[in-house]
């Protein structure tokens, strides 16, 4: 199936020029929301400019030179979103992480080979499944089974080794931790958690930061303790 979109109709979060070819690649339905993901062929051609055309981008994909979270991907419509790790080459020699800048646009940020060996994933949902275990649904669509006695909570971040997806450590949403703001007016900033405010209504709980602002809980993405575990875009407050 072909997923195409008129360039002028592209979301504002996409880091592309609105002048150019009439049609661009639309990301296939996947773990990230439409506005929060970029198709691989679009990344290769329009963002990284490693291909002059969609056909050249598809050739790179067919040759097995494009990796997402440590695994080869050949679908040009495969979408990548926040915190996904993109690697290029066979074997990979270039590595990138998807972040957001202060304008709320998705950014393909270069990272080291060492940093490409893991990713951070935020716990969105948690529920009990048959067998006495608990299923964790992560922000990138992954589902992980853990013991019922595990300490994981919604809002915590897991450090996952790639490509095996084994949980290496947990970053809890607690006071003093560093959070990367993934949406709202402070998108792209990193701040220290002060407290989590429980809202007695259908509205999301809020996370207040020591820097003097707050955001809804789903936008608070814990990335470290004293320092971030990942490298950040230049100009992002720490």
The whole model's pTM is what?
0.92
pLDDT at 19 over 70: yes
Q: 40-69 pLDDT, tens per residue?
A: 999 999 999 999 988 999 999 999 999 999
CA distance 83 to 87: 13
Give the residue among 178, 217, 219 at the shortest CA–CA distance from 196.
217
DSSP annotation of 63 reads T
DSSP annotation of 199 reads P
pLDDT at 131: 87
pLDDT at 238: 47
Q: What is the 3-state secondary structure (H, E, C) of 139-182?
A: CCCCEEEEECCCCCCCCCEEEEECCCCCEEEEECCCCCCEEEEC
What mean pLDDT is predicted for residues 149-174? Answer: 95
pLDDT at 203: 87
């Amino acid at each position: 199936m072909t997923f195409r979109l008129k360039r002028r109709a592209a979301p504002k979060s996409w880091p592309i020029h609105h002048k150019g070819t009439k049609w661009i690649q639309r990301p296939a339905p996947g773990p990230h929301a439409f506005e929060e993901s970029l198709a691989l062929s679009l990344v290769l051609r329009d963002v990284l400019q490693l291909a002059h055309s969609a056909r050249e981008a598809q050739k790179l994909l067919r040759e097995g030179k494009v990796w997402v979270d440590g695994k080869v991907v050949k679908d040009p419509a495969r979408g990548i979103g926040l915190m996904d790790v993109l690697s290029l080459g066979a074997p990979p020699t270039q590595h990138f992480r998807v972040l957001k800048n202060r304008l709320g646009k998705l950014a393909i940020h270069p990272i080291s080979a060492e940093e490409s060996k893991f990713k951070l994933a935020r716990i969105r949902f948690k529920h009990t499944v048959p067998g006495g275990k608990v299923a964790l649904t992560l922000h990138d669509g992954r589902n992980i089974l853990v013991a019922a006695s595990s300490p994981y909570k919604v809002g915590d971040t897991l450090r996952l080794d790639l490509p095996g997806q084994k949980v290496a450590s947990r970053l809890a949403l607690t006071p003093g931790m560093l959070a990367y703001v993934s949406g709202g007016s402070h998108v792209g900033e990193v701040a220290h958690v002060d407290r989590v405010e429980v809202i007695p209504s259908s509205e999301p709980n809020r996370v207040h930061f020591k820097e003097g602002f707050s955001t809804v809980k789903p936008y608070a993405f814990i990335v470290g303790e004293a320092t971030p575990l990942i490298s950040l875009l230049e100009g992002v407050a720490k």
